[in-house]
Amino acid sequence: MRSPLLRSETGDGPLPFAASAPRVRIRRTAGITGIVRMTDSTDLFLGSTANGDRRSLVLRRANRHGLIAGATGTGKTVTLQGLAENFAAAGVPVFVADVKGDLSGIAMAGSATAKAHAAFAERASAIGDSDWRYRETPTIFWDLFGEQGHPVRATVSEMGPLLLARMLNLNDVQEGVLTIAFHVADEDGLLLLDLDDLQAMLAECAARADDLTIRYGNVSKQSVGAIQRALLQLRSQGGDRFFGEPALDLSDFMATDDEGRGIVSVLAADRLMASPRLYATFLLWLLSELFETLPEVGDPDKPKLVFFFDEAHLLFDDAAPALVEKVEQVVRLIRSKGVGIWFVTQNPTDIPDAIAAQLGNRVQHALRAFTPKEARAVRAAAETFRPNPGVDVAQAITELKTGEALVSVLQDDGSPSPADRVLIRPPRSRVGPVTPAERAVLIDTDNVGDRYDVAIDRDSAAELLGAKAQEAVAAADATRAQVAADKTAALHARDEARAAKEAERQRIARAREDERAARTAEREAAKSPWNRATQSATRSAGSAVGRIVVNEIGKQVFGTTRGGRAKSGGMVGGLLRGVLGGLFRG
C-alpha cells in the first residue's frame, strides 16, 4: 500500500527519511508456534537505586503482569516505553495501545537533538548504564480505523454474541435475541462477517419473529430494534471498519524480526476516549483469542507476548460489571499461556481490585497527596507494596522525582521484592510521536500491509439475504404483473361480452326492421289496382253502402252467406282472406 498520507507529504521529491527508514520484516516464528529465538537475558534492566544497586525485572516472572502508576508527568509513559523496548530487545513481542500517539516514537531511534536528551544522558550516567545509546525498535502500526496503521479487523462471528452484547451494552433479553440471530445464521449457513451481515440477519429475524419465538423463545421486534440502534451507534464510532475481512492473524502480533528482536505492535488508540466500548471489547477479544489459541506453558523463560495498556483507566471508566469480571478472568488465566499484561494509569485505585490484585510487578511513580482523597489513595497504593524497613513507602510515593519510582518485582521464587526507590533507565528510542510522514513510510515498507490493507467483501449474510430479498421483490413484481394482466384480460372479456350483446341487439333490431320492411312491402303489394279497389271498399265498409258491397262480394267469394264456410278458393279468395284477415287483425 502506498498511503495517501505519504504521497501528499512527499510531493514530488523523495522523503529524506524514506531512504534510511528501517524496513521492518516480521517473522512469524514466535509465540503460537512456540519457537522464540533464545537470547541470553534472563532479566530486564529497569534502573538503579541511589546507591547504584541495579534493579531488574525477572523475565521468568514477567507473565505475572504489572502496573505502572503515577500522577501526570511523573514518567509513566517513558517507563512503559523503556520496558517495551527492553522486552523487544530480549526477543519478546510487545503490544501497546497508544492512547496519546506519543508511544509511536518507539519505532525511531532517539536523538541527541531531542528536548529530553540532556535529562536522559544524565540519567544514563547517574545509573551507570554505559550501554545506553539510541536505537529504534522494530514496530508495526495498527489501527482499528485503518488510518494510522494497518487495519485491525475481526469478523462478527469471531467476536461472538457475548462480547458483542457487551460491546453494544445490551440487556439480557437483547443479548438472548442476538444469540438467536447468530444461531439462525449458523443454521442457514449465512456468514456473519461485517456489520451489514449482522444488520441483515437481525432484519431477517424480525421478519421471522413469530416463527423464531415459537422455536427459540421471545424474539420481539422491540429487542431487535434496540440492537439495531446500538449497532448504528457502533457504526458511528467507526465499528463498521473494524468488523470484516481480512481478519487479524494473531501470529502477526507474536513475531520477531531477522535479528530475533520482538516486534512491537503499536495500536493507534487516540480515539479510545470517543469509543471506549469498542476498544475495551476489542482488547478483551484479543486477550480471549490469545487465551484460546495459545498452548498452556506455565511460567516460560520469558513471556510469549506482553501487553501494555497506557491510560488504562479509560478501559474501566463506566465499564459494566460483567465486562470487568470478564477482564479479571482473562487476566488471571492468560498468564499460564505466557502472556504478560501491564496496566499504566495514574492511580492504582483506577484498576478494579480483583484485577489490581493480580499485578505482581509494580512501578509506582509519584502521587500527590494534597487532598484527603489523594492522601487515602497514596496510603492505598503504599499498602500494595511489600514493606521495606529502610523505606517509608507512603512518604516516598509523594517525594519521588520525575523518572523515579518505587519498584517491587516478582523474584525468582515468585515473591515480591521489597519496595525500592529506583531511578528508571532512559529509553533508547524516541520519546514522543513519529511524524505522519515517518509513520506513512514505516507502514508502507513493512511486510504486513499486503495482507491487510485491502478489505475483502465476500458473499455473506448481507449479500445472500439481499439476494433473497431481491428474489422476494421479483416474485412480488411477477405477482403484481400477473394481477394486472388478469385485470386487463377481464376488462377485455367484459368489452367483448358487451360487444357481442350489442351485436345481438343490433341483429334483433335488424331482424325486426326486416320484418317491418317485409310487412310494408306486403302492404305495398296489396296496393295493386284490384287490391286497391277492395281496399278502398273495405275502407268504406263502415258505411251502409260499403257493408252491402262487402256482403255481396263476400257471398260471391265464399259462396255462402257470411258465417258459412267458403267452398271455393282461388286467387280472389286468397286476396280477400289477406285483406279481411288484415282488417280483423287490425
Ligand X SMILES: Nc1ncnc2c1ncn2[C@@H]1O[C@H](COP(=O)(O)OP(=O)(O)O)[C@@H](O)[C@H]1O
Binding interface with ligand X (CB under 6 A): 70, 72-78, 116, 119-120, 123, 402-403, 424, 426, 431
C-beta of 116 vs 162, nearer to ligand X = 116
CB of 354 to Mg ion, least distance (A): 25
Minimal CA–CA distance to 143: which of 153, 135, 134, 133? 153
User: Judged by CB under 5 A, does residue 361 bind Mg ion?
Assistant: no
Residue 549 near which of ligand X, Mg ion, none (CB within 5-8 Å, type-dependent): none
| Residue whose CB is nearest to Mg ion in the complex, by number | 77
Cα angle, residue 191 at apex, residues 461 and 184 outer, rounded to 5°: 80
CB of 12 to ligand X, least distance (A): 36
Spatial neighbors of 250 by CB under 8 A, at least 6 apart, are 32, 286, 289, 290, 293
C-beta of 197 vs 311, nearer to ligand X = 311
Burial 227-256 (b: 16+ CB within 10 A, else e): beebbeebeebbbbbbbbbebbebbbbbbb
Where in 388-407 is the site for Mg ion (CB under 5 A)? none
CB of 124 to ligand X, least distance (A): 9
C-beta of 148 vs 364, nearer to ligand X = 364
CB of 472 to Mg ion, least distance (A): 55
CB of 328 to Mg ion, least distance (A): 24
- Provide the 8-state DSSP code for 256: B
CB of 363 to ligand X, least distance (A): 11
Residue 408 near which of ligand X, Mg ion, none (CB within 5-8 Å, type-dependent): none
CB of 407 to ligand X, least distance (A): 12
C-beta of 382 vs 423, nearer to ligand X = 423
Number of residues that bind Mg ion (CB under 5 A): 2
Residue 116 near which of ligand X, Mg ion, none (CB within 5-8 Å, type-dependent): ligand X
Minimal CA–CA distance to 78: which of 304, 70, 50? 70
Peptide bond into 246 cis (omega under 30): yes
Residue with cell 474501566: 316
Residue 4 near which of Mg ion, ligand X, none (CB within 5-8 Å, type-dependent): none
Residue 385 near which of ligand X, Mg ion, none (CB within 5-8 Å, type-dependent): none
Residue with cell 451494552: 169
| Residue whose CB is nearest to ligand X in the complex, by number | 403
CB of 288 to ligand X, least distance (A): 28
CB of 311 to ligand X, least distance (A): 9
Q: Which stretch binds Mg ion (CB under 5 A): 42-50, 73-81, 335-343, 394-402?
A: 73-81
C-beta of 100 vs 510, nearer to Mg ion = 100
Residue 209 near which of Mg ion, ligand X, none (CB within 5-8 Å, type-dependent): none
- Which set of grid coordinates corresponds to residue 136? 529504534
User: Judged by CB under 5 A, does residue 77 bind Mg ion?
Assistant: yes
Q: Are 3 and 240 in contact (CB under 8 A)?
A: no
Q: What's the CA gap between 2 and 5, in Å, rounded?
A: 8
CB of 72 to Mg ion, least distance (A): 7
C-beta of 176 vs 403, nearer to ligand X = 403
Residue 149 near which of Mg ion, ligand X, none (CB within 5-8 Å, type-dependent): none
Strand ranges of the sheet holding 139-143, from the earlier edge strand across to the other edge: 54-58, 43-48, 420-424, 404-408, 361-364, 66-69, 339-345, 305-309, 94-98, 264-268, 139-143, 150-151
CB of 138 to ligand X, least distance (A): 22
C-beta of 77 vs 139, nearer to Mg ion = 77
C-beta of 20 vs 72, nearer to Mg ion = 72
Q: Are 177 and 205 in contact (CB under 8 A)?
A: yes
C-beta of 83 vs 195, nearer to ligand X = 83
- What residues form DSSP beta bridges with 294? none
Distances (CA, A) of 119 to 112, 425, 526: 11, 11, 147
Q: How many other CB atoms are found less than 10 A from the CB of residue 553?
A: 15
CB of 76 to Mg ion, least distance (A): 5
- What residues form DSSP beta bridges with 139? 264
Q: Are 196 and 171 in contact (CB under 8 A)?
A: no
Cα angle, residue 231 at apex, residues 230 and 234 outer, rounded to 5°: 90
C-beta of 96 vs 381, nearer to Mg ion = 96
C-beta of 55 vs 76, nearer to ligand X = 76
Task: Return the HEC string of 66-134.
Answer: EEEECCCCCCHHHHHHHHHHHHHHCCCCEEEEECCCHHHHHHCECCCCCCCHHHHHHHHHHCCCCCCCC
C-beta of 119 vs 566, nearer to ligand X = 119
Residue 74 near which of ligand X, Mg ion, none (CB within 5-8 Å, type-dependent): ligand X
The interface mask with Mg ion, positions 501-540, x = CB under 5 A, is ----------------------------------------
Q: Which stretch binds Mg ion (CB under 5 A): 71-79, 176-184, 261-269, 329-337?
A: 71-79
- Which set of grid coordinates corresponds to residue 186? 449458523
Listed in order, strand segments (DSSP E) in 383-475 are 404-408, 420-424
Q: What's the CA gap between 239 and 394, in Å, rounded?
A: 43
Q: What's the CA gap between 196 and 460, in Å, rounded?
A: 9
Residues that bind Mg ion (CB under 5 A): 76-77
